[in-house]
Amino acid sequence: MKIFISGASGLVGGNCLKHFSSMGCNVVGSYFSFPTDNTVFFDTLNPINPLNFDIDAFRPDVIIHCGALTHVDYCEDHIEESYQKTVQSTLNLIEISKRFNAKLVYISTDYVFDGKNGPYHEDAPLNPLSVYARHKLEAEQAVLTEMGSACLVLRITNVYGHEVRNKNFVSRIIEQCLNNQQLSLKLPSDQYATPVNAMDIAKAMYLLLNDQHNGIFHIASTDWMNRVELALTVLKYFPEAVYELTPILTLDLKQPAARPLNGGLLKSKFSTLYPTFLFSNVDDFVKQHLK
């Protein structure tokens, strides 16, 4: 496979770049605002930018779209920017995919649901609660409508794993503990999700692409926990860590964007296809990190 990854300097894209390269694929990963090793510049909002990687010469078989504006509260007050970076970037990659007859992989989220009855199967009723969520769903539906069978939509949530910037919640706690920093955490005890390792997402994606599957798949691990439990799962490996953890209800956080509370995803569709695929969990990741 010849694969182009947009947003390869981020958590999911970076792990995809690493795994697909290790599997012998011809992979090019791109960045927009944050360059990393082995990534090239590509502006998905301006596909004809003369500084862009020459995707026409590369002619990928698969395009993986990992880029989006993921700051949920910021999106609430910056609607046009959210639309451009999440929806318009996807529309542009749809056109590029069609040009090369390439398969398009779109990374979506459990935020397309309202969090009343999670964790969710793929066919559960959709009801996004925020600007970010509505734009993710709009982009997802555009991919499914425009690409037909030539697409994969992978819904994920609470992603953690190895990344250059250590932006994800789990990695930040590990890093702060290793640096003997005191932590002050005010976390919602009523927001539930299914944390998943970005490398597991990459491995699952590779299997689905290699076996030519299409449509929507939920990718999740075995954990279903709230943010307090997630933090404590990490902190238990650092008995000498100094921290203050205050559980709080989402309503009391007064966040601009509404969150799905009983969120998360059920992976049974994927696991039926790949019953021997063993997802890792948060405990596994921390133990690996400490080695």
- What's 67-111 look like in SS3? CCCCCHHHHHHCHHHHHHHHHHHHHHHHHHHHHHCCEEEEEEEHH
pLDDT band at 194 (very low <50, low <70, confident <90, very high): very high
Q: Which domains does the chain have, with CATH numbers?
A: 2-159+195-218 (3.40.50.720), 167-192+224-262+282-290 (3.90.25.10)
Please check the confidence at residue 26 and state whether its pLDDT lies above 90: yes
At 37 the pLDDT is 86
Kindly report the average pLDDT of the chain as a whole number. Answer: 95
pLDDT at 155: 98
Which residue do the tokens 């590369």 mark? Answer: 58
Determine the pLDDT at residue 68.
84
CB distance 12 to 156 below 8 Å = yes
Tens-digit pLDDT profile for residues 142-185: 999 999 999 999 999 999 999 888 789 999 999 999 999 999 99
Confidence of residue 67 (pLDDT cuts 50, 70, 90): confident
